[in-house]
Amino acid sequence: MRQRRIRAVLAWLGLGAVGAAAALAAAPPGEGRVPVAVVNADLAAIAQRVGGRDVAITVLFTGCVLRPGLEVEGGALAGLVSAEAVVWSGLFHESAAIFHAVENLTPEQRERLRQPLWIDASQGTVRVKVPTSSCEGFVPIQFMHGDPYFWLNPENGAVIARTIAAGLAQLRPGRVATFQANAEAFAADLAGRIQGWRARLAHLAGTKIFITQCGWANLARLGPAFMSCRSEPGVLVKPPLLAEQINGQQVPIVVVDPHTPEEYAETFRTRTRARVVVIPSSIAEIPGAREYHALFDHLVERLLVAAGQAGSRGARGGGDA
């Protein structure tokens, strides 16, 4: 049954194998704005910068895309039905959830369903923690190419923008110069911001920061040494054991994602000397944030505050920065 389902998903996506590039034969180039369905708010922000007024964006998922029972948001279904392009992370978990949503469409919705161009935003990006082997000889599909949160490395932003520009150009050939110019302007702006973030975090170079959101490991080149520990991909070790490791390595700052179970943050506050700080890993959870760079602006500000408070703390931990 599972194999039949996988084959059905791949058939709808136009894939020959799980690791193949996701690209359906695009419909003939159309007119007007391009309806684009994007898997998360952060990639959507890049797509918006590249497409400008020529795109209408719908975000398909919120929260952790690796969670069991992932579903397309109810309010996003209409956008998926009308989409001429789907920007995704190449994560099979996402494509399976999208296919499941398509399976459940009404006959009326199916009549309006397009055959979208799938744009894999991960193409050409650099990933961390790429597995080379497994004790069981098996790596879960969602982790087989490495950390799936590649957009949390801002240096991948320019690559993502150019990939999206190339995809949109297939659908609106007359706007190719505009999409390319927008992508390059985004890349230049981001490059300057990356230099600024590195300069601001320079005094934290090599500082150990424990993270519960594995994706932040992509930020290692910005200065701090981001560390995580999992019993298996995507699964955190129990809180008391993590607390022992944090104490043993004298980690001064622990970053907790809002979706991390509260028992972790509470254990870190009460059983370690580290400063515990809650930092979202998506602009969807930062009030007022609309631009991709806001994700890293927020992170840098919170880390600097946490670093200052960690340096002046008492003997015991406690509290959020």
* More confident: 151 or 132: 151
| Average pLDDT of every residue of the chain | 83
Q: 312 CB contacts (<8 Å, ≥6 apart)?
A: none
Question: Which residues neighbour 210 within 8 Å (Cβ) at sequence distance 6 or greater?
Answer: 227, 228, 229, 242, 245, 246, 251, 253, 254, 255, 274
Q: What is the pLDDT of residue 216?
A: 79
Most confident stretch, 199-208, 221-230, 238-247, 290-299: 290-299
**pTM of structure:** 0.84
Note the pLDDT of residue 99: 93
Instruction: List, for residues 270-290, the tens digit of each pLDDT value.
Output: 999 999 999 999 999 999 999
Using the CB atoms, write b or e for 38-70: b if 16+ within 10 Å: bbbbbbbbbbbbbbeebbbbbbbbeebbbeeeb
Q: What is the pLDDT of residues 53-75, one digit of tens each?
A: 999 999 999 988 878 888 999 99
pLDDT for 176 equals 97
Q: What is the pLDDT of residue 260?
A: 87
Q: Do domains 2-195 and 203-310 have the same CATH topology?
A: yes
| Residue at 266: amino acid letter | E
Phi-psi region of 14 (alpha: psi -120 to 50; beta: other; left: phi over 0): left
Q: Which fold has domain 2-195?
A: Rossmann fold (3.40.50)
Summarize pLDDT for 230-241 with one digit per residue, the tens. 655 567 789 999
Query: pLDDT-based confidence at 309, cuts 50/70/90?
Result: low
What confidence category does residue 120 fall into, taking pLDDT thresholds of 50, 70 and 90? very high
If you write DSSP's letter for every residue of 36-88 in order, what string do you get?
EEESSHHHHHHHHHHHGGGEEEEE---S-TTSTT----GGGHHHHHH-SEEEE
Q: What is the pLDDT of residue 181?
A: 98
Looking at the chain, the whole-number percentage of residues with pLDDT higher than 70 is 78
Would you identify the CATH topology of the domain 203-310?
Answer: Rossmann fold (3.40.50)
Contacts 24+ apart (CB under 8 A), 226-229: 226/255, 227/251
In contact, 231 and 237? CB cutoff 8 Å: yes
Instruction: Return the domain boundaries, the chain.
Output: 2-195, 203-310
pLDDT at position 32 is 87
Query: Torsions phi, psi of 61, nearest 5?
Result: -130, 150
**Rounded to 5 degrees, what angle do the CA atoms 239, 244, 249 make?**
125
Beta strands in 187-309 (DSSP E): 208-211, 225-227, 230-232, 235-236, 253-256, 275-278
Rounded to whole angstroms, the Cα distance separating 119 from 209 reads 34
Of 121-125, 135-139, 234-238, 299-303, the one with minimum mean pLDDT is 135-139
**pLDDT-derived band at 17, boundaries 50, 70, 90:** very low
pLDDT band with cut points at 50, 70 and 90 for residue 28? low
Query: What's the confidence (pLDDT) of residue 38?
Result: 98
Query: According to the model, what pLDDT value does residue 145 have?
Result: 61
Residue type, position 214, single letter: C
pLDDT for 215-231, tens place per residue? 777 776 788 888 876 65
**Could you give the CA distance from residue 93 to residue 234 in angstroms, rounded to a whole number?**
13
Residue 136: the pLDDT is: 47
